[in-house]
Structure formats: C-alpha cells, structure tokens
Amino acid sequence: MLNKEKIKQILSSRIEEISSMQIPHFSLLRDIEKASKRIIKAIKRKEKIVILGDYDVDGVSSSAIMYLFFKNIYTNFEIVIPNRFIHGYGLNAKILDEIEADLIITVDNGITAFEAAWICKKRGIDLIITDHHTPNLTLNTQHFHLPEAYAVVNPKTSPDFPFKEICGAEVAWYLCAAIKSEMKLNIDLREFLDILVLAIIADVMPLNHLNRTLVNMGLKKLNASKRAFSRVLKRYFNNIKSTNVAFGIAPRLNAAGRMDNAKVAFEFLISEDENEALELYLELDRLNNLRKETESDILDNLEINNDDFILIKGNFHEGVIGIIASRLVHKYNKPAIVFSEKENLKGSGRSLGNIDIFDLISGCGELLEGFGGHKMACGLSIKKENFDKLQKKLNEKIKKYNKDDFFIEDFVLGELSFSEIDFELLDILNSYEPYGEGNPKPKFITSAKIENVRNLKDNHYKLILSQNDIFLPAVIFRYDGEFEEEIKFKFSVEENNFRGREVQLIIEEII
C-alpha cells in the first residue's frame, strides 16, 4: 500500500534537477564556436545564408527560433523546410537543387547527410550541421562517421556536454547563444523558451536535468507570452501544461507536415498578428482532423496475420505510417513496421518493451536501401521485392526474445486507498510536474463501490465512488461497458475546478 511519503520517494528518485544557473554553457558543444564565427563572417560579408529545418514540431520550432533570432540581426537569410512528399527528409540532393546559398545551416537534421555534404563541398557552399540525432558509426572502429561539413554541432559528438538527450531546437537555441555571445548582442534568449518548450515535449525528450529546467521555464514563458500564437493557444488551453503540449498542441503542429506542408506550423509560430495566427491555428486543426480520419480509415481496413513482428504494406498516406505503426504496437503488443508503397517501400517502425527494433533491422542490412532510428522507433526503405524476405528474416530474429520482453510500459506506482487522496496529495503530485517522457504521470490502483453514475455526454461518465465511508468523485471517458456495483480500477488524480475545487479521480481503465 502506498502513502504520501512513499509516493514522494518514488517520484523524487526518478528526477534530477538543475537550477537555471546550472544550464550547461554553449561552449561545451563541440564546434559551436567555429560555427558561430563562420556565421558572423557570413553576416559581415553579406553572404546568403539558408537555414534548413525539418517538418516535425522539433524541426519547425528550430526553424522558428532561428528565424526570430536572425531577423534581429540580418536580412540575407532564408528558412527552408523540406516537404516530406516532394523532397523527403532533411538536407538531401533533391532539396539542394532548389537552394542557392553561400552558407547552409541545418537544424534538427543533417547528421547523416553524407551525399548532401559532398554536393555542398563541390558547389563551394559551407555547411554547418546542427542536429541531435545519433550519428552513424564507422564499421570497424566504432567511431562516429560524420558528413564532411565545415562544422558539426551535436551533443552526441560533444564529450564535454553533460546531457546528451536534448532536441534539435535546443541545439539551435544554443547556437543562437553562441552567436549572441560572439557578437555581444543584447537579445534575451529566454524569449524563445515559449517555442523551445514545444519541441522538447513533442520530440519526447526525457523531462530531466536540462530539459526539466527548460520545460518548467518554457511553460511559464508560454503562459505569459505575448506572441500571437500563444495568445491563440490560450483561447483553447487556458493554463498550458506539459500534457496539453504533448496531446493537444504537438499533434496539431505535426499535422501540417504530415498532411500538407510544415510551413503552416512555422508561419503559426512566427506570426505577429493574432487574427492571422488564429486562421493558421484553424488550418492546423483541420489538418489534424484530416490526419485522424486518414488514420482510422487505414486502421479499419487492415488485415493482420499472426506473426510476432508485424509488417504491413499498402498504398498508405506517408504522413501517418508512423502513427499507424504505433497504434498496431498498442493493439497487438508486438513491434510493427508500416510501409507506404511507391516505387520503393518506405516504412516506419515502432517497438515495445525490451525489443530493440534498431538492432533487429540492422541485422538485415543486405535488404535495406536506407535506415535510421533507435531502440524504439525507426525509419527505413526497401525494394518492393525484398518485403517478403525482410518479413521472414525479422520474424526469425525476433525469436531470441521471450514472451516477457513484449510489454507496453505502464506507470502504475501501486495501490492507493481513498484515505490518502486529498489536496495534500495533489500538491505533492503537482510538485513533480512536468510529467512526460522519463517522468510519466503517476497512476494508481484501488477498488471502490459505485454510489452514483451520471452520463456527461456520449460515453463519458461522472461517478461517485466510496471506500470505507470516504466518498470521491471520478470521471471515465470513452467507456462502452456496463458498470458493476464494485470496481477495481487504474486511475490518476487531478484537481477539478469546475464549480469549486475538488479532488477528482480520472479512471484510466476498469480492471
């Protein structure tokens, strides 16, 4: 049985806190000073600078921070965000065809852009790569194999940088800090934390150490920000929390790049006019609804066989294959790769539990055209004729795992009785915010009697529960079953401010 002390112990053991004064200095990132000096030289010489971003929230936020920073100090620069359907991902030969520049700076991409780096070199374009993704390793030496660029700024290639798990926008923000310092500019970098926080949460960075500090500062900034986009967000989410960013804001920003063009999300973040920002928000919302429809259309029509490693292919919309893979993982408790069929098969994979999808696919090297990722997620492309072979091979390789390795992590802290659930508990839980990756929102288990059921709307219900003469309100969403007299359930605890303050249970699942 849990009590408040035990809960405090568990929650504090998983977080590592640093103060805003302990934010690591930019100079700990390798090559960052070389990069900022080159950028300043370009500014002095009035060279054309192109900043190349990515179409997800991290890439768009990186681009927005760079845009807002550069527009204070320079005019001859351009932000380019690739279109997933036209150019594909990151700095590559295709997008380089459309770029004229003296200096290219990548943000949130580029660490494996070998061919593009070579093209830049040939064309006399200096290339500065800023990224946070893990670089390739050389075959024998296990050293990083990096593209030939003027400078490569990445926490993973910086032995002195104390915290490796930062997102692309954080690296871009650090680059701005280095430029600011070198040019002795009077720009407050905290101004960008309202955008940075979106990227840290959306890119599922562990909310620990530097990220935790920046997210806390960033959420405060976002809620107080005068920027047009944040004023629009506050119409829909009144006090923006990390969970609002993860489940409400990030999916809408991502929808632009998934369904159409990430420019919509970028324009939204940099907008200076609230009406324009509102229009853009409504467009993002529309694209997000379209994304959901596309996703359920595909999911409703899938046929899945009994393999331990799910591989499916079809004429699927490329923007949603990653989400579909993740839905399949949750539905079937197995790793899954979903391929979109074009001239090649382009796939997105997701894993679970102890199953290292990166390792499994790496072992099929001869069947792959392109591949990147990590333990839990990956992207790959293969030739059509290799699909069956890959399916067979992965299903053989996965046999080395046991049944126990296939699990979806759940964050139940333990059993908690009603006598412990009060405002004091709420204060304790709130003090460990923000919750998210690496610090999941605490869930508990208990049993109680149902005293009253009220239908709120559709299949959402408000319940009054009792346990040893203590009564507590609870809500359950999207529930299609019948209610028993007594239930055992998994829940989280929240404050309900609708008509006075009360402690309310959110029932996640009736067991």
**Residues in contact with Mn ion by the rule CB under 5 A:** 58, 108, 168, 203
| Residue 132 or 241 with smaller CB distance to Mn ion | 132
* 269 within 8 A of 195, measured Cβ to Cβ: yes
Number of Cβ within a 10 Å radius of residue 361: 28
Strand partners, 422: none
Q: Please state the closest distance from residue 371 (CB atom) to Mn ion, in A.
A: 17
Strand partners, 454: 462
| Residue 89 or 461 with smaller CB distance to Mn ion | 89
* 280 within 8 A of 267, measured Cβ to Cβ: yes
Q: Please state the closest distance from residue 92 (CB atom) to Mn ion, in A.
A: 16
Q: Please state the closest distance from residue 422 (CB atom) to Mn ion, in A.
A: 40
Burial (Cβ within 10 Å: 0-12, 13-18, ≥19) of residue 171: buried
CA 117, distance to chain mean position in Å, is: 26
Long-range contacts of 284-293 (CB under 8 A, 24+ apart): 284/252, 284/253, 284/255, 284/256, 285/252, 287/252, 287/255, 287/256, 287/258, 287/259, 287/260, 288/251, 288/252, 288/255, 290/255, 290/259, 291/251, 291/255, 291/258, 291/259, 291/319, 291/320, 291/323
Tokens at 490, concatenated: 């998994």
Q: Please state the closest distance from residue 341 (CB atom) to Mn ion, in A.
A: 26
The amino acid that residue 463 corresponds to is L
Q: Please state the closest distance from residue 58 (CB atom) to Mn ion, in A.
A: 3
Q: How far is CA 91 from CA 15, 87, 127, in A?
A: 35, 9, 10
Q: Please state the closest distance from residue 409 (CB atom) to Mn ion, in A.
A: 22
The whole-angstrom separation of Cα 120 and Cα 101 is: 10
* 470 within 8 A of 418, measured Cβ to Cβ: yes
| Residue 31 or 203 with smaller CB distance to Mn ion | 203
Give the ranges where 106-208 is alpha helix by DSSP (H): 114-123, 168-183, 193-202
Q: Please state the closest distance from residue 466 (CB atom) to Mn ion, in A.
A: 47
Which residue's Cβ lies closest to Mn ion? 58
Q: Please state the closest distance from residue 202 (CB atom) to Mn ion, in A.
A: 9
Q: Please state the closest distance from residue 295 (CB atom) to Mn ion, in A.
A: 22
| Residue 174 or 461 with smaller CB distance to Mn ion | 174
| Residue 58 or 295 with smaller CB distance to Mn ion | 58
Phi, psi of 347, deg, nearest 5 = -125, 160
Angle at alpha carbon of residue 110, lines to 105 and 114, rounded to 5°:
115
Q: Please state the closest distance from residue 287 (CB atom) to Mn ion, in A.
A: 20
| Residue 60 or 312 with smaller CB distance to Mn ion | 60
| Residue 108 or 126 with smaller CB distance to Mn ion | 108
| Residue 82 or 168 with smaller CB distance to Mn ion | 168
* 413 within 8 A of 10, measured Cβ to Cβ: yes
| Residue 2 or 323 with smaller CB distance to Mn ion | 323
| Residue 90 or 353 with smaller CB distance to Mn ion | 90
